[in-house]
Chains A and B, each alone.
Chain A
Amino acid sequence: MAALPRRIIKETQRLMQEPVPGISAVPDDTNARYFHVIVTGPEDSPFEGGLFKLELFLPEDYPMSAPKVRFITKIYHPNIDRLGRICLDILKDKWSPALQIRTVLLSIQALLSAPNPDDPLANDVAELWKVNESEAIRNAKEWTRRYAMDN
């Protein structure tokens, strides 16, 4: 394995030693900058009970630039598009090197609890979320049941 910045090593160790409830992130065998992630759907959200797979990659100049994160499991959410890309300010212009893998993943989990259809990435989902929230939530639950539950 090529030499990794110490900060990445430290974060990886802490993720193992003090895991965040509802979140697991494991580095890939062949590439320590690539993390396999599972985020559990938050309680009292339409995503409750779901296990969502994400991929997270730490770019060359991390932590000076934000990790690249994408949902791999299908999810029905106004701020996540068909490709699993996430609309979240801290992954773009509001990135700060004081944020970490764990804080990024917690923010993503929080986004599942608080969808924001006024700042959409998935336009059709956001549209439905605004005009008929209960139907949108039904869809989100159905997608969670169909794609993200593990039984």
Chain B
Amino acid sequence: MSDAMVDERVTDEIEALKAILLDNELNIKENDRGEPECIETILFPSTGEDSQSQYVCVTLIVRLPSGYPDISPVINLRNPRGLDEDTVKLMQSDAEAKCKDFIGQPVMFELIELIREHLTRSNLPTDQCAVCLYGFREGDEFTKTECYHYFHSHCLAAHVAAAERYYREEQEKLPQWQQDTTNKFQAICPVCRESINCDVESLWSAPPPIDVEAATDFSVTAELRELQKQMAALYLRQQQRGGIIDLEAEGVKMLVRTEDDPAATTEEVSPPGTSLTAYSNTTSVQSVTQVHSKQSTHQTQNNHNSQYQPRQMQHNHGHNNHNHGHRHRGRGRAHYRRHFDRVRQAESTPR
């Protein structure tokens, strides 16, 4: 162990950091002897005073071993936002190389500068939209949440509208005295569940993501067929040993079919044990027509939006956004619930 006195090079470095970084950007943890052991700072791209156009950020955590700066510190990059894995890995390895070069000298400023350069270079979200799983292209409208997550505006609108609908439906199911009296829906970020504020109406006006529109269709490959075969064989083997849950024996024939289900009357060829297939037979047709009509309206509305246009979050003007044009979906949901209600009824009969 080194002597209890903190190395002068380290105290100087920390004084300088405190002078340059804002209090809320810098967090220095000390051990019980009062020696600094961990420096944490959130870093943004260098965009001058314009914080609106910072689309990426990362938290740099530097652990100072006793003996620093004669021993390299340990670098950690946490909570990367708008950055893909490769970029983060590159930043990490560059930072570690920098530490090796600077053994014997304070390295914090060099590290901060290095990470900032990386952030400035990749100051556009490079990862994919977590909702549609496609990237951001020139011409796409996207939204940066307060928690620095990125979504195509169109995708985020779909999420918030669906979440609000779910919230209302759940509220209606509760008895009056259990209902949330404020009846106030709070949208959350799909990735980190932080509360977010957004104006669904204006998000909906964005066109669907370009990559989504251009993606190719999927076809069943030979490899897939082979897997399907293996699965079917396993099913049969398990069935022979009585290992398959027998829904009929459990008295829940109704899991699959309901009288008001038009698919129930036609004899579908269904794979073994497919109690869930009946849902799709009725719903897939709806989804196709719905997608088409939505896309065409968005395209006509948004032909002028050809710029790469990030859309900053706006504060919500109240919560009376109407989910127009979603009656189809609503009906679909109610339909699933009907299926599950039936299961529940069957389930509640004594065993």
Q: List residues of A whose CB falls within 8 A of some B CB.
A: 2-7, 9-13, 16, 24, 26-34, 36, 38, 51, 53, 55-57, 59-61, 63-65, 68, 70-74, 81-85, 93, 96-98, 100, 146-148, 150
Cβ of B243 and Cβ of A65 under 8 Å apart?
no
User: Which candidate, B93-101, B110-118, B270-278, B308-316, is the interface stretch facing chain A?
Assistant: B270-278
Cβ of A26 and Cβ of B245 under 8 Å apart?
no
- Cβ-based interface call for B185 (8 A): no
Interchain CA distance A129-B172 in the complex, whole Å: 35
Cβ of B284 and Cβ of A147 under 8 Å apart?
no
CB contacts (< 8 Å) of B333 on chain A: these are: 61, 65
CB contacts (< 8 Å) of B277 on chain A: these are: 28, 31, 34, 57
* Other-chain contact of A148, B134, B193, B231, B243 (Cβ < 8 Å): B243
Cβ of B162 and Cβ of A36 under 8 Å apart?
no
- Cβ-based interface call for B186 (8 A): no
Give the dominant DSSP class at B's interface.
Answer: helix
List the B residue with the shortest CB-CB distance to A66.
B166
CB contacts (< 8 Å) of B244 on chain A: these are: 53, 72-74, 147
- Cβ-based interface call for B90 (8 A): no
CB contacts (< 8 Å) of B193 on chain A: these are: 96
A34 to chain B, nearest CB (A): 5
Cβ of B255 and Cβ of A12 under 8 Å apart?
no
CB contacts (< 8 Å) of A71 on chain B: these are: 245
CB contacts (< 8 Å) of B166 on chain A: these are: 65, 93
CB contacts (< 8 Å) of B26 on chain A: these are: none
* Other-chain contact of A16, B162, B221, B255 (Cβ < 8 Å): B221
B117-159 contact mask (Cβ, 8 Å, vs A): 1 or 0: 0000000000000111110000000000000000000010011
CB-CB under 8 A for A68 and B276, given A9-B217, A9-B218, A10-B134: yes
B332 to chain A, nearest CB (A): 5
CB contacts (< 8 Å) of B267 on chain A: these are: none
